[in-house]
Amino acid sequence: MPSVPSVPSVPLVPSVPSVPGRFDVSVEHLRSTVSTKWNKFGPDVLGAWIADMDFQVAPPIAEVMQRYVSSGFYGYGVATLKDEMIAAFVDWWSGHGLSADPGRVLLVSELVQAMHACVAAFSSPGDGILVLTPVYPPFFGAVRDQGRTLVEHRLHRQSDSGRYEFDAHALREQVRSARPRVALLCHPHNPVGRVWSSAELQVIADLADELDMLVVSDEIHADLVFAPHRFRSFASLGPTTSNRTVTITSPSKAFNNAGLRCALMHFGSTALLERFTDQIRGDLLGVPSVPGMLTSIAAWCHGREWLGHCVEQLRENRDVVASRLLDAPNGISGPLNEATYLQWLDFSALPGVRVALDADPTICVSDLLRERVGIACNNGPDFGDDLRHFARVNFATSATVLNEICNRIERFAAMHTA
Ligand SMILES: Cc1ncc(COP(=O)(O)O)c(C=O)c1O
């Protein structure tokens, strides 16, 4: 690692005390919790990595948790909780165009587990699995750790807008030749912030149909979409598509209860569900926690108003990032997010970054950001090979912290212009 100047110690202006449902939680409070985002690195480092929001949960979630804690009962929950959870999912997801069948839902504790289980159930060692990259790192684990073959389609970036797309013709050619058994779709896509359009989804659906490919659609970010973009569940394209789709999702990204571990899988047909349960015994998967279900039910039954405010706040934050980091002549570029609070940034135009990374092939730009200006963000190479000049920054934070994140990244850019 090249020698680095020490992290500048700029005091954060204390924000107002946190109020449930508000979006201005102080760093002092965050560091006093068990948050890994805020406690993994030293006190001078701002947490802008793992996908939690620095916001208080919606009041209905806080209330149900308070009641749960004060009840003093932490044993097994009644069976009706599962029914309520599934009913809440069916109702909420009808808003995303999905006609979900309550009889074809499996409750699990997390999406990554569900994705691994789908790969295990619907493919064999050596089979190809299609993934559009750069992508959320556990997608690679689900393929490689189970001895499957990665069929990687690299998204390309529009030079003017920074928007990531796939070339339908190239994708068709690649998939027809590699014939993957399963596609792992990330919709909306982390980290490039795309909400796939119906036309784009249809390209994948047609390929799936043509090649008898199963699609696992990870829709965990579905509720974090910025107008005028609209989210449509992949399985809603029609019965042929639905029959070969497993939708996996959770309220945990939109409602910030990821630590409580609650997710679900929806199978587009009974045959698909049976194929899955023939391969993966229910006891291997486990079930969500009681507080996970309680808070997820509260989110989907009573959280809509709060979510509206949350997405408004995220949209403001996205625009701050765009105007301060993407639109400024600072050598940094990236897409304008259509969804998610995870911003993909490209630092490859900064000469000083290129020099530093050329001098040490073991590091990436996120190491420099952490060492030189005290920002912890996610490493580009975790999202795909050859991405050392990229980093993912989480902008779901207070105005105070976001301002300081932008200050530090601007300073980083200025330090590396030569
Ligand atoms: C696309 C995507 N899928 C899954 C997850 C993780 O879900 P879980 O914690 O339920 O495994 C994340 C977390 O950020 C994500 O961005």
Residue 10 above 50 pLDDT?
Answer: no
Mean per-residue pLDDT for 17-30?
71
* CB 112 near ligand 1, within 6 Å: yes
| pLDDT the model gives residue 36 | 96
Residues 33, 52: contact at Cβ < 8 Å? Answer: no
262 close to ligand 1 (CB < 6 Angstrom): no
Task: Assign 5 a pLDDT band (cuts: 50, 70, 90).
Answer: very low
Does the beta carbon of 24 sit less than 6 angstroms from any atom of ligand 1? Answer: no
Predicted pLDDT of residue 22? 75
Instruction: Work out the average pLDDT over 342-346.
Output: 98
Q: Are 215 and 247 in contact (CB under 8 A)?
A: no
pLDDT digits (tens, 9 = 90+) for 104-157: 999 999 999 999 999 999 999 999 999 999 999 999 999 999 999 999 999 999
Tens digit of each residue's pLDDT (9 = 90 or more) over 302-336 = 999 999 999 999 999 999 999 999 999 999 999 99
**250-263 average pLDDT score:** 98
- Region 13-27: mean pLDDT is 58
pLDDT reported for residue 283: 86
- The per-residue pLDDT for 299 is 98
Q: Which of 131, 220, 257, 395 to mutate to test the pocket of ligand 1 (most atoms within 8 A of CB)?
A: 220
Our answer on whether the CB atom of 294 is closer than 6 Å to any ligand 1 atom is no
pLDDT given for residue 381 in this prediction: 98
Return the pLDDT at 18: 39
Give mean pLDDT, residues 327-356. Answer: 96
Give the residue whose CA is nearest to atom 4 of ligand 1: 111
Q: What is the mean pLDDT of residues 74-100?
A: 97
Average pLDDT, whole number, for the chain?
94
Q: What is the pTM of this model?
A: 0.94
Whether pLDDT at 264 is above 90: yes
Binning pLDDT at 50, 70 and 90, where does residue 16 land? very low
Please, which pLDDT band fits residue 418 given cuts at 50, 70 and 90? confident
The CA 352 to ligand 1 mean position distance, Å, reads 33
**Ligand 1 contact via 237 beta carbon (within 6 Å):** no
Q: Does residue 3 register a pLDDT over 80?
A: no
Q: Which residues of 230-246 are buried (b: 16+ CB within 10 A; e: fewer)?
A: ebbbbbbbeeebbbbbb
CA nearest neighbour of 389 among 368, 411, 414? 368
For a ligand 1 pocket test, name from 225, 253, 265 the mutation site with the most ligand atoms within 8 angstroms of its C-beta.
253
Q: What is the pLDDT of residues 184-230, one digit of tens each?
A: 999 999 999 999 999 999 999 999 999 999 999 999 999 999 999 99
Q: What is the pLDDT of residue 1?
A: 38
Which atom of ligand 1 is closest in space to residue 109's alpha carbon? 10
pLDDT at 159: 86
User: In the predicted model, is pLDDT for residue 366 greater than 60?
Assistant: yes
Q: Is it the case that residue 33 has pLDDT exceeding 50?
A: yes
* pLDDT attached to residue 119: 98
Q: Which atom of ligand 1 is nearest to the CA of 342?
A: 16
Report CA-CA distances (Å) from 375 to 39, 366, 371, 407: 13, 8, 8, 11
Q: What is the pLDDT of residue 76?
A: 96
What pLDDT does residue 15 have? 37
pLDDT, mean of residues 371-392: 98
* Residue 282 pLDDT level (bands cut at 50, 70, 90): confident
pLDDT of 134 reads 98
Q: What is the 3-state secondary structure (H, E, C) of the chain?
A: CCCCCCCCCCCCCCCCCCCCCCCCCCHHHHHCCCCHHHHCCCCCCEECCCCCCCCCCCHHHHHHHHHHHHHCCCCCCCCHHHHHHHHHHHHHHHCCCCCCCHHHEEEECCHHHHHHHHHHHHCCCCCEEEEEECCCCHHHHHHHCCCCEEEEEECEECCCCCCEECCHHHHHHHHHHHCCCEEEEECCECCCCECCCHHHHHHHHHHHHHHCCEEEEECCCCCCECCCCCCCCHHHHCHHHHCCEEEEECCHHHHCCHHHCCEEEEECCHHHHHHHHHHCCHHHHCCCCHHHHHHHHHHHHHCHHHHHHHHHHHHHHHHHHHHHHHCCCCCCECCCCCECCEEEEECCCCHHHHHHHHHCCCCCHHHHHHHHHCEECEEHHHHCCCCCCEEEEECCCCHHHHHHHHHHHHHHHHHCCC
